[in-house]
A and B are shown apart, each in its own frame.
Chain A
Amino acid sequence: MTWILPNLWLIPALPILAAGIIAIAKQPHRKLAASLAIGSMAVAFLLSLVAFTHTLSISHGDNIKEAFNLNWFQFGSDWVRIGWLLSPLTVVMLLMVTFVGLLIFIYSIGYMEHDENFTRFFCFLALFAGAMLGVIISNSLLLLFMYWEIVGLTSYLLIGFWYANPAAAAAAKKAFLVTRIGDIGLFLGIAWLYHQTGTLLFYDNGAGCLEPSALNALVSHTTILGLTVSTGIGILIFCGAAGKSGQFPLHVWLPDAMEGPTPVSALIHAATMVAAGVFLIARVYPLMSAQVANVLTPSIALQVVTWIGAFTALFGALIAVAQFDIKRILAYSTISQLGYMMMGLGVGGVPVGMFHLITHAFFKALLFLGAGSVIHGSNGEQDIRHMGGLRRFMPLTFATYAVGMLALCGFPLFFSGFWSKDEILHAAYDWPLSHTPFYMGAIGALLTAFYMTRQICYVFAAASRRPLPTHSFLHDDYDSAAAHHDGPPHESPSVMTVPLIILAVSTILLGFIGAPSWPWFQDFLQDKHAALNIHAFSGNGIVPVMLSSSALVFIGLTFGWMLYGRKITHAEQPDALQQIEPHTFSLLHRAFYIDALYAHTIVPLNTLLSHIADKLDRWFFNTIVQAISYLVLGVAYTDNFVDTYFVNGGFNAGCATVSVSARVLAFLQRGRIQSYLRYVGLAFALAAALLLWRAKA
């Protein structure tokens, strides 16, 4: 089974290849595009399964991080090396991305059916999937960064897929720029790391940058403020991760990114791409957690991750409470959940954060696809105030959506979200430094249950509040489902509902591989043998945390139901919270005015700087350039002069000399044999005289 290791590159290569072929295919070849993209994803999924079984077959306890490295190009005297890595973390992510991606690809056939740029869409989707898979398998921070940037690019392309819509174009630009800000940090971190360790390979038989020798070197150096180098690099890398994963304060692009088609929101901005940041932190976890020997407190880098994560978790949940757009609620919920993952990594390590990442990927993809189905079914409507009563029209969507919602809320025992979130809270409770992150997470969990109940009440309960057709749609011309027919809400076609059902089932089942009683998932990631242990519940304060978090969920659900259940009668009715606390609601609805704050601080500052740079460029540098150009012109004129009158003149004179001497010499040959023989005699006499004279001398 070692075949898979050297051929792991096939997994990202296949979707990228498919994207390339689709890119050169003609617009009408819809079936070709879709089948290529889906086929490549299916093969990638099968290969991921092969990789998974390979990893399973290796005996536990060994260090099963298998790297395959090769020389890429020579850079000075060093070889730049890249490679790929086969580890439990890799295969778990591979399985998740290929499986969820495959379902979303299939779903897209139905959702994008009426779009004229169907093939372009699948080209971008396949390219995105390939890049994401590349991020996962990379064993080199450099290779990872390159794929990372392709992920950013495809995100830009897909958010701005309906580029004729100014909001979509602006959102795409915003996403690209904001994530780039994080990427600057990441790039600096990479450069610093390369400077310190001389390698960017993660694992390289002891010489990689995540292996003990390099880490020991990193923690032994200190830099400004007494931080170790590993902390500095870790925080810089976290900047990139925060940008990609929408952590405060770089979260602003994520809600706007909902301008993209809903499958994109599901695939990129819920399940996979935003998880890349979390994955990156998990990948470089040895670096993040590197700590001087004998110090037992968590490293400063991990503290930063924990605090930012906890804050984001609470922050996102608060804003989600006061949104009316069905996708924006989910977007802020995603931000909040990503905060949980970061916090989980910070307080509990890789298994805790990754478990929530995986379960979240499933139920958030489910929720987004469900939202897409809702939008599709209600002809492009996205404002939850104009929905209502859809339970009757779309029973399947409702059922699956409810599963996703309960998983997200962390409804006890039967939903994967419960187990993964509970584990984060448990780890946070045990965190030695502070209990504040635990309380922030707990409040966030309560709010999550509350806003999801609010959303479900708005969308599925009560009676339909559908406005008249003349009422302005939010995205009337752009979202594909819009306006192709205008009837009552309807259930979506089976190509869309079947993925929903599969995701719903997976969401429930996933919980059982990570529950404390049989923590197979966590042990798999940590190379331990999984064992069934019912008594796990009794130790270590798990049960109190479980009970309290369950209580919080029930409180949230109850509040939600009390405020919104069956009470919404017409679309213009103010929100229940709005009636109680109008100012707070407005603050939350505007997302704490962060966008406005940026628009009035960073954007004007940037504009000012750009004006200064422009003036500097125009008046200062341009003058220098002009001066240099005149200097060059002067040199050129001098050169031309010299060339014309000295070099060319000299050459012409030389040629003339050659020509004249040729004429003179040709004159010798006049055709008279007498003179010829005379020349011979003369030559003989001269040569003899020369030699005789020299011989005497």
Chain B
Amino acid sequence: MKRSIWRDFTIGIIEENPLFTLVIGLCSALAVSSKVENAIFMGVAASFVMVASNILVSVIRKMVPNQIRIPIFIVVIASFVTIVDLTMKAFFLAGYEALGVWIPLIVVNCMILGRAEAFAYKHGVIRSIADGLGKGLGYTLVIFIMAIIRELGGTGQIVAFENTIISLRGFQPPQILQSFPGAFFTFGILMGLLQKLQRKGE
């Protein structure tokens, strides 16, 4: 039975969430989820690269010789990442400086190469867009939720785009949530909760 395009999109959000279920692309997710603002920038940047590389890989898939497909995917992904990098440097300096090395590192994010290899190389353009959008949204949602927990819990407030959105008074924030161990704790607990919820549904 052929999956619908809508299904290609929605499956990336929970059942095949790149972070919680497929468990790929973790390092950037753990690194940038200490601030909500960074999580949004990173989510948008990674989703853009994923959708764009999915489209291009899908378009050229019949012309790409099988033996050299991986280097070609890498060149495609690296080009889009560099475009994002240059564009952010010119127009979104705050985001560019906050994310730093994590933008160029999108190139080696296995989530994106993984989608090119596992999906876009075998499917048409429209379905590849749906897949890229769904996986991108799944990735963005997870780092966004993690960032809310880590920033609010670790600093006692959420500051995004120069506005304080929430500020907890009289709360001594545990700094560990801001550091890398805190990222692992948050990620592990969320992943466990999601697994439990999914088991219940079965």
Tell me whether A and B are bound partners: no
Which chain A residues have a beta carbon within 8 Å of chain B's beta carbons? none
